[in-house]
């Protein structure tokens, strides 16, 4: 921290770390330490991180832990309704919530590309700190690497998360039963469309923002109320249909939706119509599907409504008694079709 | 080859007549498109947009007529003893 | 959404299905030539509402399905050049050429961009004057005005770094090719509504007369498609063979004159090779001599690129409605959506891809 010989790399103002990330910021020396101090520690400040150890020493009082990891490479780094930092917190927190765990601690690994604007990094890290606080988790350990300039996105984040499991339910596809009600906690398709709205060549004016948010509060509320949850899965890439197919495959059951019950906002639908997208396949970042005992559906919906921010949870389908792994849909006109996985991402089409 | 979507014209920019840019609303999402092939289109009308270009103005009367026609179909179905 | 939701109404759809059931007294085979209509039929399950006497056949109405392999190879060759930004509609991104597809070129470092409109490609040309910007101009008559406008705009603005790789095809010649085939089983057509928004209905009148088939101009929402089918069935049952318009809110008898004039200014009718159908005379559009500077094939000397279609693929017979995908020996084994041999398996609207999805779930 006091080795001033490396000051020659940096211009002291306006940012002590310099306007851009350089290789020195990954060098392990005082330049890197200054970066970590000013940008990371100040945003993530907590008693575990402040121990400044190679590993965080954490008290845990649970028989079972949930543990997950995810890496985030989204482009653009900042999008309507969020950024790669808040996404990295919400995504990992939500994965823990899908196990029915109370999220507690996250790690955060950063790969920075030489040339990344320091102001941008600071903005994203600050956003991450806020997201963590709002989600009730602490970022207790981390890592920073700098790679040489290669004209890429500039920033990649990995977060791993630990949560404690305070219930006895086996929340997994194997617990899914015929007759289970399928609930979602809000309208679909916002994240994918928000990203699309800012991608070059596909721009349109819109106030659609990503739905990136923590769903842990909603899930824990369901558990606290004694809702018999059989399975949870968040709806990310590939949308509702991909998730449903994964569960159907793992559970060996048919999942049936009613199209008219699936909530999609008008403007999201408008954007989908324009691009030729199906909202059921569009990515979400703050939505999950819950397979529950149908007798608890009404109560569960009421709880989800309490935790819903300007959206409407809904019961959109059920698990049939057929032991065929597939997803079916009753379309708007009353015909039934099969909803298959797409082999790749949806692209704007004219046909 | 035929994905075309109806949208409502919100505003027209006449400064570039070759392209005739306009802002068109699709259920709350607004996109800039060209009205070059629909010189008669005006603000408030609905146009059919394909690949960034309006192909024609929606004939609202015809659209409404179809809806009315359904009463006729329902009557026909009933006359033949079918369930409506 | 206005003018969309009303035509996805369940009650109206059921009413129309009922009317069709009542009208039918014998089997009929109807063909639609439009990927958009195929997509809507599959998406909403329209065919499920039809009586068993009606067979719906999906014709060569998807520009993806009919673009020859060698043209895809030319697109790939262009996209691989360092000085090129290659722009395309999303539809073509995964169509395999002889070895790669456009997304594969992107993965290998090529500057391939998916755009919503050819006008966006012109914007890119203005933004990056040091690059050659090429647009993959596929489509039927519906897309011709947009492609023509892009070239026209580039011409007016004297943009020197913009060109198109043209693969434009026309519907009426394809219809005639199908109807004049000996084994043709099609007895009625649903004409692609948005093609007719541009071109009007007049081109179909001589075809209806010559071959004695009803042709109903049809839209794309489930209610529109059912109205088109009903109109076609009523004509067949009454022994009529006329062109009628079941999409009057978007189609007039003469079409869009401004669009037709622009197409005629920029393009001329040429022969075109259709994947699976072979060369059909006067079935495509090519740039007129005064616009040859915007023709990527001429600009970049691509005439030496030729390619062979897969000998196993029977897409020609499929596209004409003569064979079903399940009758193809490679179907589901050597040819799947992940490893397609031909276009009908690549495109989501393709008959083979659609069959593949349903076949896997047929309860034994």
Quickly list DSSP for C16-32: HHHHHHHH-SS-EEEEE
Per-residue confidence (pLDDT) for residue C364, from 0 to 100: 35
Question: Nearest chain A Cα to C112, which residue?
Answer: A201
A206:B29 CB<8 A: yes
List of residues 6+ apart from C30 with CB closer than 8 A = C54, C55, C56, C57, C186, C187, C188, C189, C190, C229, C232, C233
Per-residue confidence (pLDDT) for residue A99, from 0 to 100: 94
Question: Is residue A230 situated within a structural domain?
Answer: yes
Residue A6 has pLDDT above 50, yes or no: no
Nearest CA-CA partner of A163 in A93, A76, A266, A80: A93
Residue B78 has pLDDT above 70, yes or no: no
Question: Is residue C93 situated within a structural domain?
Answer: yes
The mean per-residue pLDDT over the stretch B16-33 comes to 94
Quickly list DSSP for chain B: ----EEEEEEEE-TT-TTT-EEEEEETTEEEEEE-TT-TT--TT-EEEEETTEEEEE--HHHHHHHHHHHHHHHHHHHHTT---
B29:A350 CB<8 A: no
The distance of A151 to chain C (nearest Cα, Å) reads 12
The distance of B23 to chain C (nearest Cα, Å) reads 15
The mean per-residue pLDDT over the stretch C108-112 comes to 94
Same domain, A153 and A183: no
Question: Is residue C243 situated within a structural domain?
Answer: no
Residue A151 has pLDDT above 90, yes or no: no
Per-residue confidence (pLDDT) for residue A4, from 0 to 100: 39
Mutation target among A257, A279, A335 for the C interface, most CBs of C within 10 A: A335
Same domain, C42 and C69: no
Name the DSSP class of A213: -
Considering the entire predicted model, what is its pTM? 0.90
* Structural domain span for residue B41: 5-79
Per-residue confidence (pLDDT) for residue B68, from 0 to 100: 80
The mean per-residue pLDDT over the stretch C120-137 comes to 97
Helix/strand/coil for C122: helix
Instruction: Name the band, by pLDDT with cuts 50, 70 and 90, for residue C349.
Output: low
Question: Is residue C137 situated within a structural domain?
Answer: yes
Same domain, A143 and A17: yes
Question: Is residue B44 situated within a structural domain?
Answer: yes
- When comparing pLDDT for B74 and C240, which is higher? C240
Nearest beta carbon to residue B5 from set A265, A267, A273: A273
Cα dist. C181→A176, C138, C166, C208, C211 in Å?
Answer: 53, 26, 27, 16, 11
The mean per-residue pLDDT over the stretch C270-287 comes to 91
What's chain B's average pLDDT? 88
* Cβ of residue C101 closer than 8 Å to a chain A Cβ: no
Question: Is residue C364 situated within a structural domain?
Answer: no
What's chain C's average pLDDT? 91
Instruction: Give the whole-angstrom CA distance, residue C254 versus residue C198.
Output: 9
Per-residue confidence (pLDDT) for residue C116, from 0 to 100: 93
The mean per-residue pLDDT over the stretch C63-91 comes to 91
- When comparing pLDDT for A62 and A157, which is higher? A157
Beta-strand pair A229-234/A155-165:
unpaired
Q: Angle B31-B35-B41 (CA atoms, 0-180°, nearest 5)?
A: 110
Q: Which chains touch A (3 or more CB pairs under 8 A)?
A: B, C
Instruction: Name the band, by pLDDT with cuts 50, 70 and 90, for residue A60.
Output: confident
The CATH number covering residue A268 comes to: 3.90.650.10
Residue C315 has pLDDT above 90, yes or no: no
Q: Which residues of B touch A207 (CB under 8 A)?
A: 28
Instruction: Name the band, by pLDDT with cuts 50, 70 and 90, for residue C363.
Output: very low
Cβ(A84)–Cβ(A74) under 8 Å? Answer: yes
The mean per-residue pLDDT over the stretch C213-217 comes to 98
Same domain, C146 and C95: yes
Residue with tokens 């389908």: A317
Q: Identify any residues that bridge with C113 across adjacent strands, giving them in sequence order.
A: C87
Same domain, C157 and C265: yes
**Starting from the edge strand earliest in sequence, which strands make up the sheet with A288-292, in order?**
A229-234, A288-292, A181-184, A314-319, A254-258, A326-330, A336-338
* Structural domain span for residue C19: 5-61+173-237
Same domain, C194 and C335: no
Same domain, A89 and A189: no
Burial of C38 (0-12, 13-18, 19+ CB in 10 A): buried
Same domain, C160 and C179: no
Question: Is residue C242 situated within a structural domain?
Answer: no
Same domain, C217 and C333: no
Per-residue confidence (pLDDT) for residue C358, from 0 to 100: 63
In chain C, the number of structural domains is 3
Question: Is residue A350 situated within a structural domain?
Answer: no
| Cα A116 versus chain centre, distance | 23
The distance of B29 to chain C (nearest Cα, Å) reads 11
Q: Identify any residues that bridge with A71 across adjacent strands, giving them in sequence order.
A: A158
Structure tokens at C315: 């897409």
Q: How many residues does the structure list for chain C?
A: 364
The distance of A312 to chain B (nearest Cα, Å) reads 18
The mean per-residue pLDDT over the stretch B22-47 comes to 96
Name the DSSP class of A280: G
Cβ(A183)–Cβ(A314) under 8 Å? Answer: yes
The CATH number covering residue B64 comes to: 2.30.30.140
B5:C4 CB<8 A: yes
* Cβ of residue C94 closer than 8 Å to a chain A Cβ: yes
Per-residue confidence (pLDDT) for residue B10, from 0 to 100: 97
Same domain, C109 and C9: no
Same domain, C163 and C277: yes
Structure tokens at C278: 């072979």
Cα dist. A29→A8, A121, A122, B84 in Å?
Answer: 13, 19, 20, 80
The distance of A288 to chain C (nearest Cα, Å) reads 24
* Structural domain span for residue A86: 8-165
Question: Is residue A349 situated within a structural domain?
Answer: no
Residue A291 has pLDDT above 90, yes or no: yes
The mean per-residue pLDDT over the stretch A288-294 comes to 98
In chain B, the number of structural domains is 1
Per-residue confidence (pLDDT) for residue C352, from 0 to 100: 84
Per-residue confidence (pLDDT) for residue A13, from 0 to 100: 44
Cβ(C335)–Cβ(C315) under 8 Å? Answer: no
Residue C346 has pLDDT above 80, yes or no: no
Asked if the bond preceding A76 is cis, omega within 30° of 0, the reply is yes
C142:B2 CB<8 A: yes
Same domain, A207 and A274: yes
Same domain, C214 and C335: no
Helix/strand/coil for C103: helix
Last residue of a domain, one of A145, A165, A185: A165
Per-residue confidence (pLDDT) for residue B79, from 0 to 100: 65
The CATH number covering residue C279 comes to: 3.40.50.11740
Per-residue confidence (pLDDT) for residue A197, from 0 to 100: 84
- When comparing pLDDT for A137 and C319, which is higher? A137
Same domain, C178 and C215: yes
Question: Is residue A311 situated within a structural domain?
Answer: yes
> Chain C 53-72, CB below 8 Å of chain A: which residues?
62-64
Cβ(B5)–Cβ(A243) under 8 Å? Answer: no
B29:A208 CB<8 A: yes
Question: Is residue C334 situated within a structural domain?
Answer: yes
Same domain, A177 and A158: no
Same domain, A27 and A99: yes
Same domain, A209 and A249: yes
Per-residue confidence (pLDDT) for residue C154, from 0 to 100: 97
Question: Is residue A345 situated within a structural domain?
Answer: no
- When comparing pLDDT for A20 and A247, which is higher? A247
Asked if the bond preceding A298 is cis, omega within 30° of 0, the reply is no
List of residues 6+ apart from C218 with CB closer than 8 A = C32, C37, C190, C191, C192, C193, C224, C225, C227, C228, C229, C231, C246, C247
Per-residue confidence (pLDDT) for residue C176, from 0 to 100: 93
Question: Is residue C247 situated within a structural domain?
Answer: no
Per-residue confidence (pLDDT) for residue A200, from 0 to 100: 66
C357:A340 CB<8 A: yes
Q: Which residues of B touch A189 (CB under 8 A)?
A: none
| Residues A29-48 pLDDT 10s | 888 888 888 889 889 988 88
Instruction: Give the whole-angstrom CA distance, residue A284 versus residue C341.
Output: 34
Neighbours of A348 (CB within 10 A): 22
Question: Nearest chain A Cα to C120, which residue?
Answer: A201
Q: Identify any residues that bridge with C343 across adjacent strands, giving them in sequence order.
A: none
The CATH number covering residue A96 comes to: 3.30.1330.10
| Residues A292-346 pLDDT 10s | 999 999 999 999 999 998 999 999 999 999 999 999 999 999 999 889 888 778 8
A271:B29 CB<8 A: yes
Q: Which residues of C touch A254 (CB under 8 A)?
A: none
Roughly what angle, to the nearest 10 degrees, separates helices A118-135 and A84-97?
A: 30
Same domain, A34 and A126: yes
The distance of B30 to chain A (nearest Cα, Å) reads 5
Instruction: Name the band, by pLDDT with cuts 50, 70 and 90, for residue C66.
Output: confident
Same domain, C190 and C225: yes
Mutation target among B24, B29, B52 for the A interface, most CBs of A within 10 A: B29
Question: Is residue B84 situated within a structural domain?
Answer: no
Which percentage of chain C shows pLDDT scores above 70? 97
The counts of H helices and E strands in chain C are 16, 11
List of residues 6+ apart from C355 with CB closer than 8 A = C324, C325, C326, C331
Last residue of a domain, one of A142, A165, A188: A165
Cα dist. C262→A322, C125, C141, C147, C318 in Å?
Answer: 56, 21, 12, 10, 34
The CATH number covering residue C204 comes to: 3.40.50.11750
Quickly list DSSP for A95-161: HHHTTTEEEEEEEEEEEEETT-BHHHHHHHHHHHHHHHHHHT-EEEEEEEEEE---SS-SEEEEEEE
In chain A, the number of structural domains is 2
B2:C194 CB<8 A: yes
Quickly list DSSP for C44-69: HTGGGGS-TTEEEEE-S--HHHHS-H
Within 13 Å, how many C-alpha atoms sit on residue A203's CB side? 11
Question: Nearest chain B Cα to C89, which residue?
Answer: B51
Cβ(A86)–Cβ(A211) under 8 Å? Answer: no
- When comparing pLDDT for C346 and C132, which is higher? C132
Same domain, A315 and A266: yes
Same domain, C110 and C90: yes
Instruction: Name the band, by pLDDT with cuts 50, 70 and 90, for residue B80.
Output: low
Q: Average the pLDDT over each of A246-260, B50-64, C96-110 and give the range with the smallest value.
A: C96-110
């Amino acid at each position: 921290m006091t080795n001033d010989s490396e000051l020659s790399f940096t211009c002291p103002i306006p940012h002590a770390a310099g306007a851009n990330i350089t290789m020195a910021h990954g060098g392990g020396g005082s330049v890197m330490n200054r970066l970590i101090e000013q940008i990371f520690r100040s945003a993530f400040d907590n008693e575990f991180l402040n121990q400044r150890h190679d590993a965080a020493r954490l008290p845990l009082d649970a028989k079972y832990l949930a543990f997950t990891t995810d890496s985030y490479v989204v482009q653009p780094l900042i999008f309507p309704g969020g950024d790669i930092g808040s996404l990295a917190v919400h995504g990992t927190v939500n994965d823990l919530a899908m196990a029915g765990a109370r999220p507690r601690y996250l790690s955060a690994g950063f790969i920075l590309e030489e040339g990344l604007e320091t102001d941008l990094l600071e903005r994203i890290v600050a956003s991450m700190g806020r997201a963590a606080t709002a989600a009730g988790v602490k970022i207790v350990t981390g890592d920073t690497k700098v790679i040489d300039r290669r004209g890429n996105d500039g920033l990649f984040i990995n977060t791993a998360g630990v949560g404690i499991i305070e219930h006895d339910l086996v929340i997994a596809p194997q617990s899914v039963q015929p007759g289970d009600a399928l609930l979602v906690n809000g309208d679909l398709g916002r994240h994918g469309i928000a990203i699309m709205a800012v991608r070059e060549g596909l721009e349109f004016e819109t106030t659609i923002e990503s739905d990136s948010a923590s769903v842990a509060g909603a899930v824990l509320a369901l558990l606290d109320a004694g809702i018999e949850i059989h399975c949870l899965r968040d709806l990310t890439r590939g949308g509702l249909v991909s998730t449903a197919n994964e569960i159907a495959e793992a559970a060996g059951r048919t999942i049936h939706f009613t199209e008219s019950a699936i909530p999609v906002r008008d403007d999201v639908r408008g954007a989908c119509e324009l691009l030729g997208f199906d909202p059921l396949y569009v990515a979400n970042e703050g939505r999950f599907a819950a397979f529950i005992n149908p007798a608890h559906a009404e109560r569960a919906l009421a709880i989800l409504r309490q935790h819903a921010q300007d959206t409407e949870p809904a019961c959109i389908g059920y698990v049939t008694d057929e032991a065929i792994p597939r997803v079916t849909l009753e379309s708007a006109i009353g015909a039934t079709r099969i909803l298959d996985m797409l082999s790749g991402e949806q692209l704007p089409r004219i046909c | 080859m035929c994905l075309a979507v109806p949208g409502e014209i919100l505003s027209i920019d006449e400064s570039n007549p070759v392209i005739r840019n306009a802002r068109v609303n699709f259920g709350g999402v607004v996109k800039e498109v060209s009205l070059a092939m629909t010189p008669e289109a005006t603000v408030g009308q609905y146009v059919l947009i394909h690949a960034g270009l309006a192909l024609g103005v929606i004939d609202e009367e015809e659209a409404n007529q179809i809806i009315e026609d359904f009463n006729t179909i329902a009557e026909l179905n009933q006359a033949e003893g079918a369930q409506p | 959404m206005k003018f969309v939701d009303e035509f996805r109404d369940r009650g109206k759809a059921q009413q129309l299905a009922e009317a069709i059931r009542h009208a039918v007294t014998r089997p009929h085979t109807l063909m639609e030539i439009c990927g958009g209509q195929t997509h809507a039929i599959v998406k909403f399950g329209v065919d499920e509402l039809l009586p068993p006497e009606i067979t719906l056949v999906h014709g060569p109405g998807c520009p993806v399905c009919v673009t020859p392999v060698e043209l895809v190879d030319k697109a790939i060759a262009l996209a691989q050049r360092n000085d090129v930004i290659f722009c395309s509609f999303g539809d073509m991104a995964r169509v395999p050429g002889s070895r790669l597809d456009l997304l594969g070129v992107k993965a290998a470092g090529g500057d391939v961009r998916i755009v919503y409109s050819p006008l966006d490609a012109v914007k890119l040309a203005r933004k990056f004057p040091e690059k050659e910007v090429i647009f993959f101009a596929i489509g039927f008559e519906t897309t011709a005005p947009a492609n023509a406008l892009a070239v026209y705009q580039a011409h007016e603005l004297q943009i020197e770094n913009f060109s198109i790789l043209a693969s434009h095809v026309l519907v009426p010649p394809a219809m005639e090719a199908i109807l004049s085939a000996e084994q043709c089983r099609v007895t009625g057509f649903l004409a692609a509504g948005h093609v007719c928004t541009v071109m009007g209905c007049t081109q179909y009148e001589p075809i209806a007369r010559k071959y004695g088939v009803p042709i109903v101009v049809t839209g794309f929402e489930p209610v529109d498609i059912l109205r088109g089918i009903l109109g076609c069935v009523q004509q067949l049952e009454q022994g009529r063979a006329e062109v009628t318009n079941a999409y009057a809110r978007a189609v007039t008898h003469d079409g869009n004159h401004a669009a037709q004039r622009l197409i005629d200014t920029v393009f001329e009718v040429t022969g075109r090779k259709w994947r699976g159908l072979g060369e059909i005379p006067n079935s495509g559009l090519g740039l007129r001599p005064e616009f040859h500077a915007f023709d990527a094939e001429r600009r970049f000397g691509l005439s030496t690129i030729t390619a062979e279609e897969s000998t196993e693929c029977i897409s020609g017979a499929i596209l004409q409605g003569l064979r079903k995908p399940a009758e193809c020996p490679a179907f589901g084994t050597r040819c799947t959506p992940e490893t397609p041999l031909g276009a009908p398996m690549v495109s989501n609207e393709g008959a083979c891809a659609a069959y593949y999805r349903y076949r896997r779930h047929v309860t034994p």
